[in-house]
């Protein structure tokens, strides 16, 4: 990727001081912006998915080396930090069911590759944030495997596991849980399973309830029945094999045999067909067999019938049966719990390696009372623990941002525990503004959110964004309207907060997530750098939209197109980084064009004022036709950045449809 010409670099340095207008290069003269050391003051973070961002070895999977190879792109986009999707080993493509917090997914590269990425990013002034999952582990984590071995195993207490969850919650055995919700509790067998020895099996299909009775036996073992007219089988062993039983009565079948099975048995009425009611097992939640007692069989969702000294129990997992929630105990002692200490030790490893911060997943779910005081209190303990280690080698505090998917007023208490939280209401308000073409309330709403946060934490950091990997894409919501997408970028880069750009948003990617009738993979599509065939698609297992992933939407094509969405992102991120008022300013309402002026409802206007006193006027017209604004008290001579049609005449400015401008004051 070409670097900026010396003359343009000099211009960028001058605009950093003057907050003057950015250059608007033509199609044939565009060069990716380059920032001098310390120039990126806009606090812009780029969210990327390791597995689909950039593939360095053509195996179809994004990796650390791929990210490192694209740091020039990220630098040119003006980002000062990148948030990596989960980098740890896991059982799923997305990585949120972690199986080892102290390791890296080998699909992404080695620790040496990761260290190289950290060093290269830091050399460009780009910090690296890891995604860290505190709410749950993956079902395949060794901690959970140990927990299942025995109720006496120390790690049994690291999760919420119970034979009677409703009673245990009612009697406060699980202080993290405030209520019993059956959909959050999933079957688990606790104890050693399997059997080696001689057993007698009796299947009784003579009544309305079909049963299996198994007893330990000293009788002679029998070989599998050779009478092909008998269609009753045991499926047993590892690997499994079908053993034909003997008919000993009316719909009664028996066999005595030597067993070596690490799990148990199933009953089958066919040795060739598995479906259509031929598989009989235990009813859900009752799959541990007791010798000598008939077990009622089920063909609906038949479960393995397990041998051994095991118990059928339930574990709690708010996100499903593959992600068991962690038990930190009562919040006042959470930091002394064993899982807390184990997770903190893993975080220490990455901090010591050079990671600059963490994005914390699903923090409102750690303690089940989403609006109670427990989660903020827990997060304060977590932040303080990580920051103590971080400050041993840094002069500043560690960065940490929480995913609190709630309204601004509900997010505010979480600032008691964390310095930054994602502001989901930013996009909720902005998409309404763009869809309804009504901008007059936007600034007042955001200013109100910030006052709410400040009441809890004076230096609260709202992490603003459009969409993320769990949401339907902005382009889909805005019907692929390129003018609205461009203006969404302008809003994001001109408002108070620290903005995040989600991978592909700068290219206009679209897609519906599973909540809107699509698939999550469709909003996690790979970056097309120049040619679509080189995109990292393997982890998505074919679930991506080839009508979108084409060479025309690529980075290379959009960099060459002066009218592209990507070029707007370059322009507005550079403006934010170069202008102190945009970069770190506080929003204040405009005296005329504000929530009380519904006559000019298409106009969103506010001031941004930096701590050094520098000030900028931000104007957006979200209407479908031009708007003329009379601004006798504002300076209109020093334009910082603009979008669309902007015309100044004396103390008036005309903004075309979906047009925006920033003036230095």
> How far is CA 612 from its chain centroid?
36
DSSP 307-344: -EEEEEEEEE-TT-TTSPBB---SGGGGGGSHHHHHHH
Tell me if residue 403 is catalytic: yes
Q: Nearest-5° angle of CA 651, CA 488, CA 529?
A: 125
For range 603-617, the mean pLDDT: 98
Show the tokens assigned to 496: 């108070």
Res. 340: pLDDT tops 70: yes
Domain 195-306 has CATH 3.90.1150.10: no
Q: Nearest-5° angle of CA 190, CA 192, CA 197?
A: 145
CA distances from 31 to 7, 9, 73, 80, 505 (A): 11, 10, 11, 19, 21
Res. 303: pLDDT tops 80: yes
pLDDT digits (tens, 9 = 90+) for 320-339: 999 999 999 999 999 999 99
| CATH class of residue range 41-137+335-581 | alpha beta
Q: What is the CB neighbour count within 10 angstroms for residue 439?
A: 26
Q: Are 64 and 120 in contact (CB under 8 A)?
A: no
Helix, strand counts (H, E) of the chain: 17, 29
Between helix 424-436 and helix 442-454 the angle, nearest 10°, is 170
- Give the residue carrying structure tokens 């504002």: 634
pLDDT at 21: 57
Band of pLDDT at residue 569, cut at 50, 70 and 90: very high
For range 28-41, the mean pLDDT: 78
For range 606-626, the mean pLDDT: 98
Q: Return the SS3 of 394.
A: coil
Whether 41-137+335-581 and 195-306 share one fold: the answer is no
> How far is CA 79 from its chain centroid?
19
Among the listed residues 68, 403, 445, 505, the single catalytic one is 403
pLDDT at 535: 82
Q: What is the CB neighbour count within 10 angstroms for residue 395?
A: 5
**What average pLDDT is seen over the chain?**
94
Show the tokens assigned to 87: 């980098």
pLDDT at 631: 98
pLDDT digits (tens, 9 = 90+) for 519-552: 999 999 999 999 777 788 888 888 888 889 988 9
Side-chain half-sphere of 8: how many Cα atoms within 13 Å? 17
Span of 99-108, 405-414, 509-518, 618-627 with lowest mean pLDDT: 509-518
pLDDT at 2: 25
pLDDT at 19: 66
Res. 663: pLDDT tops 70: yes
DSSP 8-state class, residue 298:
B
The CATH number, out of the four listed (2.40.50.140, 2.60.40.1180, 2.60.40.10, 3.40.50.970), of the domain defined by the range 583-664? 2.60.40.1180
Among the listed residues 63, 131, 361, 634, the single catalytic one is 361
Res. 35: pLDDT tops 90: no
| CA proximity to 155, closest of 142, 167, 165 | 142
Residue spans of the domains in the chain: they are 41-137+335-581, 195-306, 583-664
Band of pLDDT at residue 103, cut at 50, 70 and 90: very high
pLDDT at 16: 41
CA distances from 355 to 98, 127, 206, 378, 639 (A): 18, 8, 66, 22, 38
Band of pLDDT at residue 31, cut at 50, 70 and 90: confident
pLDDT digits (tens, 9 = 90+) for 240-282: 899 999 999 999 999 999 999 999 999 999 998 876 789 999 9
| CA proximity to 416, closest of 381, 383, 380, 452 | 380
Tell me if residue 562 is catalytic: no
Burial of 28 (0-12, 13-18, 19+ CB in 10 A): exposed
Q: Nearest-5° angle of CA 581, CA 639, CA 573?
A: 55
For range 208-237, the mean pLDDT: 97
pLDDT digits (tens, 9 = 90+) for 44-74: 999 999 999 999 999 999 999 999 999 999 9
């Amino acid at each position: 990727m070409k670097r900026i010409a010396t003359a343009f670099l000099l211009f960028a340095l001058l605009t950093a001081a003057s907050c003057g207008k950015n250059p608007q290069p033509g199609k044939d003269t565009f060069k990716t912006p380059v920032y001098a050391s310390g120039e990126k003051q806009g606090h812009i973070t780029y969210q990327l998915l390791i597995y689909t961002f950039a593939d360095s070895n053509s195996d179809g999977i994004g990796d650390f080396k791929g990210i490192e190879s694209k740091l020039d792109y990220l630098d040119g986009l003006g980002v000062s930090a990148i948030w990596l999707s989960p980098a740890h080993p896991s059982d799923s493509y997305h990585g949120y069911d972690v199986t080892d917090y102290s390791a890296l997914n080998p699909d992404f590269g080695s620790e040496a590759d990761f260290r190289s990425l950290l060093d290269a990013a830091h050399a460009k002034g780009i910090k690296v944030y890891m995604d860290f999952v505190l709410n749950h582990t993956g079902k395949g984590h060794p901690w959970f495997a140990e927990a299942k071995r025995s109720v006496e195993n120390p790690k049994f207490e690291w999760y919420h596991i119970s034979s009677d969850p409703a009673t245990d919650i009612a009697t406060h055995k699980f202080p993290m849980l405030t209520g019993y919700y059956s959909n959050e509790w999933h079957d688990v067998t606790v104890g050693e399973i399997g059997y080696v020895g001689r057993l007698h099996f009796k299947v009784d299909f003579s009544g309305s309830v079909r049963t299996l009775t198994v007893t330990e036996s000293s009788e002679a073992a029998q070989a599998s029945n050779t009478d092909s007219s008998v269609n009753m089988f045991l499926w047993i062993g590892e690997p499994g094999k079908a053993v034909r039983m003997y008919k000993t009565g009316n719909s009664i079948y028996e066999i005595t045999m030597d067993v070596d099975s690490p799990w148990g048995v199933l009953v089958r009425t066919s040795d060739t067909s598995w479906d259509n009611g031929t598989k009989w097992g235990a009813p859900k939640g009752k799959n541990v067999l007791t010798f000598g007692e008939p077990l009622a069989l089920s063909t609906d969702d038949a479960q393995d019938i397990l041998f051994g000294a095991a118990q059928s129990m339930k574990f709690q997992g708010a996100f499903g049966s593959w992600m068991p929630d962690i038990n930190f105990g009562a919040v006042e002692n959470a930091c002394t719990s064993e899982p807390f200490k184990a997770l903190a030790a893993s975080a220490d490893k990455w901090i010591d390696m050079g990671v600059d911060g963490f994005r914390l997943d699903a923090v409102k779910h750690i303690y089940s009372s989403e609006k109670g005081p427990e989660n903020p209190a827990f997060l304060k303990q977590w932040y303080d623990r990580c920051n103590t280690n971080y400050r041993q080698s840094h002069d500043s505090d560690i960065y940490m941002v929480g995913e609190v998917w709630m309204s601004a007023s509900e997010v505010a208490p979480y600032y008691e525990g964390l310095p930054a939280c994602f502001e989901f209401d930013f996009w909720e308000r902005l998409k309404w503004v763009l869809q309804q073409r009504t901008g007059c309330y936007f600034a007042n709403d955001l200013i109100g959110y910030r006052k709410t946060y400040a009441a809890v934490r004076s230096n609260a950091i709202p992490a603003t964004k459009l969409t993320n990997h769990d949401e339907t894409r902005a382009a889909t919501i805005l019907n692929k309207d390129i003018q609205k997408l461009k203006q969404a970028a302008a809003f994001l880069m001109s408002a108070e907060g620290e903005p995040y750009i989600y991978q592909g948003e700068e290219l206009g990617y679209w897609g519906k997530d599973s909540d809107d009738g699509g698939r999550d993979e469709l909003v996690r599509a790979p970056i097309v750098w120049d040619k679509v065939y080189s995109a990292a698609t393997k982890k998505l297992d074919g679930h991506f939209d080839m009508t979108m992933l084409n060479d025309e939407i690529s980075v290379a094509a959009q960099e060459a197109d002066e009218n592209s969405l990507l070029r707007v992102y370059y322009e507005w991120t550079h403006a934010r980084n170069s202008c102190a008022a945009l970069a770190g300013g506080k929003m204040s309402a405009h005296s005329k064009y504000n929530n009380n002026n519904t006559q000019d409802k298409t106009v969103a206007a506010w001031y941004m004022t930096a701590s050094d006193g520098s000030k900028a006027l931000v104007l957006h017209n979200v209407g479908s036709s031009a708007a003329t604004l009379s601004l006798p008290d504002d300076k209109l001579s020093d334009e910082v950045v603009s979008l669309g049609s902007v015309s100044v005449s004396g103390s008036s400015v005309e903004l075309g449809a979906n047009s925006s401008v920033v003036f230095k004051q």
